[in-house]
Amino acid sequence: MIIRAWRGYATLEKPEDYPDHFRRNVVPELKGIDGFLGARLMRSQTLEGFEFLVHTRWRSMDAIRAFAGDDIERAVVEPEAVRALTHYDKRARHYVVVEDQD
């Protein structure tokens, strides 16, 4: 399994804009991609606003490529997400899961 990690940031005045977009648009799109295994959206409040950390789980790099294209590290950020965020990572990071304990 591979984890794709990405972060975006929002103001204190817009704590739900990105999570709403994530639920309404991102998750349904991801569910249609073969090899997508799940997603987690996390939020941390800072003095300046909110940091969102997105972890998506994938079966393979080919599955990630089906989502992100040939440049798999390129962040995929839709216009609605751009409007919800003050700034965001332009690149995603990928981690091979070595061990996963529940």
Q: In the chain, where are the structural domains located?
A: 2-96
The Cα 18–Cα 51 span in angstroms is 10
The Cα 23–Cα 77 span in angstroms is 14
Which pLDDT band, with edges at 50, 70 and 90, does 31 fall under?
Answer: very high
The pTM of the full predicted model, rounded to 2 decimals, is 0.93
- Quote the tokens at residue 38: 């799940």
- What are the tens digits of pLDDT across the range 57-77? 999 999 999 999 999 999 999
- Quote the tokens at residue 22: 């994530």
What is the pLDDT, as a whole number, of residue 62?
97
Does the pLDDT at position 102 exceed 90?
no
> Cα 25 vs. chain centroid, distance in angstroms?
12
3-class secondary-structure state, position 27: helix
- Architecture per CATH, domain 2-96, reads as 2-Layer Sandwich (3.30)
What is the pLDDT, as a whole number, of residue 80?
94
What is the pLDDT, as a whole number, of residue 57?
98
> Cα 55 vs. chain centroid, distance in angstroms?
6
